[in-house]
Structure 1
Amino acid sequence: MRHDTHAQHAHHEHHTQHRSVSWSMAAQATLHCLTGCAIGEVLGMVIGTALGWGNIPTMILAIVLAFFFGYSLTLRGVLKAGVDFRTAFRVALAADTLSIAVMELMDNGVIAVWPGAMDAHLGDAMFWWVLAIALVAAFLITTPVNKWMIGRGKGHAVVHQYHH
């Protein structure tokens, strides 16, 4: 009987711990994700523009690179913990897919609907300030998503077990 009470208490603590996720923890997870997304976005736009590609192929490249760099940052950290590549890759997919997807949807959505932003070039101030606004919007929308996921033991909560 004592074992059952202990198990119930541990189960309650586990759920309480997940429900009490701080905004700070969610913001840190989102900043981690934003770093990879921003690197991919900027690199994709630079490459697409340098190659003279149109808006759609450039945006697709930027999104692909955002996912690549977002996953890579998580993968690097998990591999440093001594985990095999296959497990680390699964952890990165579980931790970052929804976060990056929401971030990319917001980021590219802002750029797509902002008048003139799709036609701005790397040398135009508009390109950079709309990108900055888009990334801030993506951060603001994705942080509650990450808080929700971490609170349920998903997303970046999966990665935290490999940080210790």
Structure 2
Amino acid sequence: MDHSTHTQRPTGRALTRLAVSATLHCLTGCAIGEVLGMVIGTALGWSDVQTIALAVALAFVFGYAFTIGPVMRSGLSLRAAIPIALAADTLSITVMEVVDNAIMLLVPGAMEAHLDSWLFWGALAFALAVAFVVTVPVNRWLISRGKGHAVVHAYHGGGHGGGHGGTHEDGDRRTADAHGADQVRHGHH
């Protein structure tokens, strides 16, 4: 049964602002993991495949952690927060990582550059910026359908929605978002 009519989903500029906010949130976790993975792999002289594998793994760890933490602070257990984070961030992080790492591989010499090289840091910054631009429409599409960060929104205390206060609409959205999280936990999409 589709309960999507229980909530008024954002549209237009509000939807775009929410998508940008969700993407910045995702970018923060991904960037920390990505930079850490690239720095470790490069410092240890690992191959491109090993370095990228570590960077991607850490990007997912940090990306999910940046969602799980606030969800748990809202009162949910770790066990309940994990599926919410997976539902909210998996597609966004995946798109960001595919774009980011593809660019790092395509920029000549970027993966071989040393950590003290402007080429390494410039390519990484450029890759993350492009990944952000590509991921915003993905998050916008997800949120417009009540997926992605729309599921986690209720647990952030309205932090991604621009401070609506405690309106009836917010209560309805929290109820619908909580129901969406229940559906995710129980395997219904």
Question: What is the TM-score with the length of structure 2 in the denominator?
Answer: 0.77
Counterpart of 1:23, as a letter, is: T
Task: Provide Cα deviations, 1:107-158, integer angstroms capped at 9, x if missing partner.
Answer: 0011111122121121110001111110110000000000000010000001
Structure 1: state its 5+ residue gaps.
1-9
Size of the alignment, in residue pairs? 153
**Are 2:54 and 1:61 aligned?**
yes
Aligned residue for 2:111, secondary structure, equals helix
Counterpart of 1:138, as a letter, is: A
Counterpart of 1:38, as a letter, is: A
Cα distance change, pair 54–134 in 1 and its aligned pair in 2 (3 A): same
**Are 2:98 and 1:105 aligned?**
yes
Q: Contact 1:18/1:153 (CA < 8 Å) preserved in 2? A: no
Counterpart of 1:161, as a letter, is: A
Quote the Cα distance in structure 2 between the aligned partners of 1:50 and 1:116: 15
Percent identity reads 56
Q: Which has the larger radius of gyration?
A: 1
Q: Which residue of 2 aligns with 1:41?
A: 34
Aligned residue for 2:9, secondary structure, equals helix
RMSD between superposed Cα atoms in Å: 1.5
Structure 2: state its 5+ residue gaps.
158-189
Quote the Cα distance in structure 2 between the aligned partners of 1:88 and 1:75: 6
Q: Contact 2:95/2:135 (CA < 8 Å) preserved in 1? A: yes
Q: Which residue of 1 aligns with 2:115?
A: 122
Quote the Cα distance in structure 2 between the aligned partners of 1:118 and 1:163: 37
Quote the Cα distance in structure 2 between the aligned partners of 1:140 and 1:161: 25
Q: Contact 1:18/1:152 (CA < 8 Å) preserved in 2? A: no
Distance apart, 1:19 and its partner CA:
4.8
Quote the Cα distance in structure 2 between the aligned partners of 1:22 and 1:154: 13
Question: What is the TM-score with the length of structure 1 in the denominator?
Answer: 0.88
Quote the Cα distance in structure 2 between the aligned partners of 1:44 and 1:163: 28
